[in-house]
Amino acid sequence: MKFLTVNDIRFATIDEGSGPVVVLVHGFPLDHTIWDGQIGPLSQRCRVIAPDLRGFGDTEATPGKVSIEQHADDLAAMLDALGVVEPVVLAGLSMGGYIAFRFYQKYRRRLRGMILCDTRAGADTPQAATGRLESARRVEQEGPRVLADMMLPRMLAPATYNSQPEVVERIQQIILAGNAVGLAAAARGLAERPDFSAMLPEIDCPTLLVVGKHDAISTAAEMGVMARSIRGAKLVAIDGAGHMSPLEQPAEVAAAMEAFILGSAEE
Ligand code: MLT
């Protein structure tokens, strides 16, 4: 793990391997370890940067509200701090995908491609946003277990609950180890994120979409619509996976990512 100063906070990131740069951005309420099954294989031929976002994992939290834009700005400042000047492939899972959309809007020249994993372009409905604000309040009062109880039942494919209890346990551990102040601040930012749907037809960098066939949060049907809206995008649907496809089927997800990263590096 490397520790950097990024936009005045202590920022933690994995930085391994050499070759084309890929940045792996985790979802909510998680940390960079959701990519453990991809970091090893990808770092054989790529430089893999996998940060803990502001308020998650080992990165410092800032209280109140942390917007999706702030996370995108942190990623750009992290690349500066690491001396990365070449365009990168940015991979984001769920919230990481929302951040990738914002990064695209602000820092297009820094991108060579995007991998959108188990994510969606739409904003929260007013009802969902209200629920998030309530969950932020409860996390601050009761701790991260609130999020584990609310979210875990929908995060994984049914087969994962039955045959991979260690994956269920791992996700629970990540959530329970979270920083309540950071999680609440990120939840408030998620509630206010913009709708990115209108930008999809304008995306002009190579884009791969990856979805667990049993994703109950960003469904395969919804990601199919997204794939058809982005020119030239490719969609890979992963058997036996839900919303946490990199943890549920690590080898398949790593293989799809590697083929895309190395293929788009040659363009
Ligand atoms: C995630 O995995 O990042 C979350 O499901 C995102 C969300 O709650 O919208």
| Tens digit of pLDDT at every position of the chain (267 positions) | 999 999 999 999 999 999 999 999 999 999 999 999 999 999 999 999 999 999 999 999 999 999 999 999 999 999 999 999 999 999 999 999 999 999 999 999 999 999 999 999 999 999 999 999 999 999 999 999 999 999 999 999 999 999 999 999 999 999 999 999 999 999 999 999 999 999 999 999 999 999 999 999 999 999 999 999 999 999 999 999 999 999 999 999 999 999 999 997 554
Q: Does the Cβ of 147 fall within 6 Å of ligand 1? A: no
Q: How far does residue 27's CA lie from ligand 1's centre (Å)? A: 6
Q: Determine the residue of 147, 217, 223, 245 to mutate for testing ligand 1's pocket, defined as the one with the most ligand atoms within 8 A of the Cβ atom.
A: 217
d(CA 165, CA 66): 32
Is the distance from the beta carbon of residue 27 to the nearest atom of ligand 1 less than 6 Å?
yes
Integer Rg of the chain from CA? 17
Question: For residue 3, what is the enclosing H or E element?
Answer: strand 2-6
Q: What is the pLDDT of residue 187?
A: 98
Domains and CATH numbers, the chain: 2-265 (3.40.50.1820)
Given this model, what pLDDT does residue 266 score? 52
Ligand 1 centre to CA of 266 (Å) is 32
- Long-range pairs of 35-39 with CB within 8 A, sequence gap ≥ 24: 35/246, 36/247, 36/250, 37/246, 37/247, 37/250, 37/251, 37/253, 37/254, 38/246, 38/250, 38/253, 38/254, 38/257, 39/14
pLDDT score at 257: 98
Q: What is the pTM of this model?
A: 0.98
